[in-house]
Each structure stands twice: as structure tokens, then as C-alpha cells.
Amino acid sequence: MVVFLAPGTGAVAYVAGRKVGNAVTRNRARRILRAAWLEVAPGIGNGHDAVLVAREAIRGAKTQDLVAEMRQLLRGEITQPGTSSDAVCTAPELPSAPSSSAASRGIA
């Protein structure tokens, strides 16, 4: 699971891409993300927007597993406005863009 936080109005988005599984699996992933967030959110306050992204490992997870993981991710990570770190991200850095080998081969 990846959690992005930013100062905002308290909006939340739940994302599960196709790598998570078929439509039924993705919907279940969003449901358990939503349920876990509803347990964790009161301790965070309304001053942050959140995006929760499901990863493949969420298959078979229970809501309580996600609650524990969210609390661990967010423990001490929420800062006061104006400090240097206003976001939490557990995603690894994305690799740089692939070279344009298709362009060099004349493929449009």
C-alpha cells in the first residue's frame, strides 16, 4: 500500500490499478482501503488530502492488517503546516523514462 498525504480539504481517493487483479479484486481492495482509512482518519484530522494506492500484495489482506500498516506509515509523519515534509510516500522511486528506442527505429 502507498499513502500520499498533502495539505488540503480532507478529500480521499482510493486507487487500485489493473495489476492488483480483476474488477472484483480491485473493488475489494478499494473497499478494504476505505474501511481501514475510516478507522485511521479520525486521528489525522481534516487538514490533509489523501490518496491510498493498493498494490498487488493487498490480495487476501484483511482490514485490520491495513489499519495496522496505515498507522505505522502515518505515525509521526504528519507535520505541522509550513514544515519541510508535508507528504508521506512509501512507493519506491520510479525509474527514469525509457530511452526512445522506438523513435530511433522509426516507429511512430
- Give the tens place of pLDDT for each residue, 16-56: 999 999 999 999 999 999 999 999 888 777 788 889 999 99
Q: Please provide the DSSP assignment of 28-89 as one string.
A: HHHHHHHHHHHHHGGGT-SSEEEEEEE-GGGTT--HHHHHHHHHHHHTTT---TTSS-----
Provide the pLDDT confidence category of residue 77 given band limits of 50, 70 and 90: low
Q: Please give the residue that has the higher pLDDT: either 29 or 80.
A: 29
What does the pLDDT average to over 56-72? Answer: 89
> Which DSSP category does 19 fall into?
G
Q: What is the pTM for the complete model shown?
A: 0.66
Give residue 72's pLDDT: 84
- Give me the residue spans of the domains in the chain: 13-47
